[in-house]
């Protein structure tokens, strides 16, 4: 018997900034041009390469929770890698609908179908609706800087993790001096919500350490990817011919990015445009 797809609704009070985020991403999810851009090979080739930093053992037979999940390419990736259960929590109902009903989503370099191991829950991550110590892995990708109370969120993530569980944060690096320019461009063209403010990876590490996490790994990614992401979306939505040229440029830029990630960005992480932190909840 086929498992029924589940999308649970929770009625909880939310911070007004989170409500603005909900409205922003509800609109995003129903804009076909925007969705098609985010669900394109040319976008995920750049944005999702962080998954190559995560070993299969992080997912195999594990319960994985994706916080602020959106339509969650990550959970499809976790299911592809053999997770036992994937749980996605997000404030935007429309994004969850996309995640549940979209036949295929690009994840890095392959299309992956929806998997019945995945359950979506609509709710505020200020009130993470899970019991204590249930998750093997908790993740938040490109959303940590949206949160009005990051310390409270990190404590909530620690609560739902089992002892020894992994907490993965992938976010833009707010300490990069070009980030301000990226924010201006993103807000002007609607690729960012107007209350986004990225913080530096060192600040994120401080929040994690104060909550009692152990930092295991830090990966940094260069500036080309996300700047190019904003430009790609603008071009993609407004000029089909330029869009073709832009996607061709993406393929040429990709090997350059990989070299930068493995050389210069390792030596000078402060100039990274984005980062990935793997933290661990201490074993009891």
The pair of three-digit structure tokens given for residue 136, joined into one six-digit string: 């093997």
CB contact at 8 A, 76 and 44 = no
**What does the alpha-carbon distance between residue 219 and residue 109 come to, in Å, rounded to a whole number?**
20
72 within some domain: yes
Q: Is the pLDDT of residue 4 over 70?
A: no
| Residue 106 covered by a domain | yes
Q: What is the pLDDT of residue 2?
A: 43
pLDDT for res 187: 64
Nearest to 224 by CA among 266, 263, 271, 270: 271
pLDDT in tens, 117-161: 999 999 877 778 899 999 999 999 988 988 888 999 999 999 999
pLDDT in tens, 54-69: 999 999 999 999 999 9
Residue 187 resides in a domain: yes
Task: Tell me whether residue 271 is in a domain.
Answer: yes
Q: CATH number, domain at 155?
A: 3.40.50.150
- Percent of the chain predicted with pLDDT > 70: 75
- How many CB atoms sit inside 10 A of residue 95's CB? 25
pLDDT of residue 11: 44
Residue 12 has pLDDT above 90, yes or no: no
> Per residue in 237-257, pLDDT tens?
555 666 666 667 767 777 777
Do the domain assignments include residue 138? yes
**Choice between 259 and 278, residue whose per-residue pLDDT is larger:** 278
Is residue 2 assigned to a domain? no
**Into how many domains does the chain fold?**
1
Task: Please report the pLDDT score of residue 228 as a whole number.
Answer: 61
Q: 265 or 56: whose pLDDT is higher?
A: 56
Under 8 Å between Cβ of 163 and 213: no
Of residues 52, 56, 54, 109, the one with CA closest to residue 79: 56
Q: Is residue 1 domain-resident?
A: no
Domain that holds residue 42: 7-280
Classify residue 156: in a domain, yes or no: yes
pLDDT of residue 3: 44
Task: Transcribe the chain into DSSP letters.
Answer: -PPPP-EEE------HHHHHHHHHHHHHHH-HHHHHHHTSHHHHHHHGGGGGGS-GGGTTT-EEEEET-TT-HHHHHHHHTT-SEEEEEES-HHHHHHHHH-SEEEETTEEEE--TTEEEEES-GGG--S-TT-EEEEEEES-GGG-S-HHHHHHHHHHHEEEEEEEEEEEE-TTSTTHHHHHHHHHHHTSS-TT-----HHHHHHHHHHTTPEEEEEEEE-THHHHHHHHHHHHHHH-HHHHHHHHHHHHHHHHHHHHHHHTHHHH-GGG-SEEEEEEEPPP-
pTM: 0.81
Strands 274-280 and 161-172: antiparallel
Q: Write down the pLDDT at residue 277.
A: 96
Smallest CA-to-CA distance from 41 within 242, 201, 267, 247 is with 247
Please name which of 235, 239, 169 lies closest in space to residue 206, comparing C-alpha atoms.
169
């Amino acid at each position: 018997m086929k498992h029924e797809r589940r999308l649970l609704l929770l009625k909880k009070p939310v911070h007004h900034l989170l409500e603005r985020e909900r409205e922003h991403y509800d609109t995003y999810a129903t804009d076909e041009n925007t969705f098609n851009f985010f669900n394109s090979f040319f976008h995920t080739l750049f944005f999702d390469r962080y998954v190559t930093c995560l070993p299969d053992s992080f997912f195999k037979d594990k319960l994985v929770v994706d916080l602020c999940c959106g339509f969650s390419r990550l959970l499809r990736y976790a299911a592809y890698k053999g997770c036992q259960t994937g749980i996605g929590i997000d404030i935007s109902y429309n994004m969850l609908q996309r995640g549940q009903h979209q036949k295929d989503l690009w994840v890095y370099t392959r299309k992956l179908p929806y998997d019945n191991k995945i359950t979506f829950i609509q709710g505020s991550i200020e009130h993470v609706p899970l019991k204590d110590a249930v998750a093997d892995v908790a993740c938040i990708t490109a959303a940590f800087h949206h949160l009005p109370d990051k310390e409270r969120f990190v404590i909530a993530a620690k609560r739902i993790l089992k002892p020894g569980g992994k907490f993965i944060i992938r976010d833009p690096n707010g300490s990069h001096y070009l980030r301000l320019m990226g924010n201006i461009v993103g807000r002007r063209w609607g690729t960012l919500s107007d209350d986004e403010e990225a913080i530096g990876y060192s600040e994120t590490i401080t929040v994690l350490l104060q909550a009692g996490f152990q930092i295991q790994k830090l990966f940094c990614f260069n500036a080309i990817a996300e700047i190019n992401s904003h430009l790609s979306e603008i071009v993609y939505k407004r000029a089909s011919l330029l869009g073709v040229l832009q996607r061709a440029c993406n393929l040429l830029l990709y090997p350059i990015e990989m070299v930068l990630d493995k050389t210069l960005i390792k030596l000078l992480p402060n100039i990274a445009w984005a980062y990935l932190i793997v933290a661990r909840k201490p074993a009891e």
